[in-house]
Amino acid sequence: MAAGVSNFYPVLPIFFVISLVLLILPVWGFVRGRNTPVLFYIAWLFLGNAIHYVDMLVWRGTVVNFAPVYCDIISVLVVMMPIGISCSLLCINILVFKISQSTTLIVHHTKRRVIIDSLICVGVPFLFAGLHVFVQNKRFVIVEDVGCMPSTDHGVPSLFIYYLPPSIICCCVTSIYCGAYPLFR
């Protein structure tokens, strides 16, 4: 094995392709059901797997900067992924909460709900990417066998801007909304 070449090379890209195919399979059912939070969740997972698949193939055994503009875009998307997935899970949990509180099995699919879900699942990650500019120390770094990754300074501001928000949104806000709210109403 050459120095720096990943042991996971033949296996990991295959799993990325399998996961991409498995993510595409249920999309039509969720489109017909107008379940936008699940569609955003699938989109964020698909985007992450596609990015890591391409990066693993392009930067296998090298750290040469083949495409700086591509790396700029990908590093922003990689920053947005954790918060996008967390926000999608939050919207899924809110939808499940609304279904559990409903006396009928019908959940109204209004334009208002789709707009709110879209603002949460896409708008918050864009805001998060804008805030990441304050804690990045370089535009991006290229990791051998992995590809373009965002560069984040490891200080106290990055803790509050980059590392904690996905955990707070996914764990704390969801548990308060879905766990504690029914106890206090």
Our CA angle for 24, 76, 139, nearest 5°, is: 145
What would the two tokens of residue 52 be? 């890591």
Residue with tokens 């603002």: 119
Q: What is the pTM of this model?
A: 0.87
CA 121 vs. chain centroid, Å, equals 9
Is the pLDDT at 185 greater than 60? The verdict is no
pLDDT of 72 > 90? The answer is yes
pLDDT confidence band for 4 (50 / 70 / 90): low
Query: Between residues 47 and 146, which one has the greater pLDDT?
Result: 47
Domain ranges of the chain: 11-184
pLDDT in the model for residue 106 = 63
Rounded distance, CA 59 to CA 93, Å? 37
| Range with top average pLDDT, 2-6, 23-27, 106-110 | 23-27
Tell me phi and psi for residue 141, to 5 degrees.
-125, 150
Per-residue pLDDT at 1 exceeds 50: no
Cα Rg of the chain (Å, integer): 19
d(CA 41, CA 112): 19
Cβ neighbourhood burial of 38 (10 Å; 0-12, 13-18, 19+):
buried
Calpha distance 143→121 (Å, rounded): 28
User: How much is the average pLDDT of 108-135?
Assistant: 89
The pLDDT of 95-123, averaged and rounded, is 80
- What gap in Å lies between CA 51 and CA 104, rounded to an integer? 41
What CATH fold (topology level) applies to the domain 11-184?
Rhopdopsin 7-helix transmembrane proteins (1.20.1070)
Burial class (CB in 10 A: 0-12, 13-18, 19+), 88: buried
pLDDT > 60? residue 170:
yes
d(CA 155, CA 113): 37
pLDDT of 155 > 80? The answer is yes
Phi and psi (nearest 5°) for 121? Answer: -80, -25
pLDDT in tens, 37-64: 999 999 999 999 999 999 988 988 888 9
Q: Per-residue confidence at 107, pLDDT binned at 50, 70, 90? A: low
pLDDT given at position 181: 58
Q: Which residue has the higher pLDDT, 53 or 1?
A: 53
